[in-house]
Amino acid sequence: MNPVSRSGGRASHALRPVRITRQFTMHAEGAVLIEFGNTRVLCTASVEEKVPPHQRGSGKGWVTAEYGMLPRATHKRSDREAAKGKQSGRTQEIQRLIGRSLRAVFDLEALGERSIVLDCDVLQADGGTRTAAITGAWVAAQDAVASLVARGLLARSPIRDAVAAVSVGVVDGVPLLDLDYPEDAACDTDMNVVMTGAGHFVEVQGTAEGAAFSRAEMNALLDLAQQGIAELVLLQRESLLKK
């Protein structure tokens, strides 16, 4: 494996600069702007005192997510999904992933019969929007839960652990952590990994974009992801200490 030249001289195992800004907007119970380099996603967590039909009367709550991209978050303007009248397959796939990832660390019984809706809207895209969304949504969910505890609606937090996500991929034969858009477009293999604070896997989604990948490559990618997510969890926890 040769050294590759990454933007900003970044090492192959280095995350882009990550910034987490809480209370980015004023109305939501949790409102986090998360930046992975030039990727910027606004993640809001909204508490709703109702649950979808499949949970009604169960005593359990629900956690769900929606994902969107502003039309000019991307290099070339993309059509507005509201104007087209439907969400793309990609959008639905991503929002289902975010929802499952967050539910993996929630004790829905402890949440009680209410919902937390995570809206992840990409203001600026440069690769890794879904992983930034998961990582930011967890921080927003923490703030939303804290507001429920502060208002006496919950005795304790129903969040059992942290959850964060990162992309990894093989570019020109070299495994890289946290791909930006040019790397993502050039990679042979692209994997999104979601893990808990305890270091267990919640989701692993690997796709061979060009050539199929070997078990050895897979292992190298999982190693990178594990280390990157551990760093992200530290950054999440650090952001929650402020204020």
Return the residue of 211, 234, 237, 238 that touches a second copy, per CB under 8 A: 211
In Å, how far are 79, 125, 126, 184 from 76, measured between CA atoms? Answer: 10, 11, 12, 16
Pick the closer one to a second copy by CB: 3 or 53: 53
User: Candidates 8-16, 147-155, 211-219, 235-243 — which segment interacts with a second copy by CB under 8 A?
Assistant: 211-219
Query: Does 8 interact with a second copy (rule: CB under 8 A)?
Result: no
Residue of the chain from 19, 50, 207, 234 that contacts a second copy (CB under 8 A): 207
Amino acid at 76: K
Query: What residues form the annotated binding site for phosphate?
Result: 90, 128-130
Which one, 81 or 113, has the nearer CB to a second copy?
81
Is 54 an interacting residue with respect to a second copy (CB under 8 A)? no
Q: Tell me, residue by residue from 83 to 112, as one string, x for binding to a second copy by CB under 8 A and - for no binding.
A: x-xxx-xxxxx-xx---x---x--------
205 contacts a second copy (rule: CB under 8 A): yes
Contacts of 192 (CB under 8 A, 6+ apart): 97, 130, 131, 165, 166, 167, 203, 204, 205, 206
Backbone CA torsion sign across 79, 82, 86, 87: positive
Nearest to 221 by CA among 198, 196, 188: 188
For residues 231 and 234, what is the distance between their CA atoms, to the nearest angstrom? 5
123 is a site residue for a second copy (CB under 8 A): yes
Binding mask 9-48 for a second copy (x = CB under 8 A): ----------------xxxx--x------x-x-x-x-x-x
Judge whether 170 and 219 are in contact, CB under 8 Å.
no
End-to-end CA distance of the chain: 44
Q: Which of 20, 21, 16, 10 shows the shortest CA–CA distance to 37? A: 16
Binding site for a second copy (CB under 8 A): 25-28, 31, 38, 40, 42, 44, 46, 48, 66, 68, 70-75, 77, 80-83, 85-87, 89-93, 95-96, 100, 104, 117, 119, 121, 123-125, 191, 195-196, 198, 200-208, 211-215, 218, 222, 226
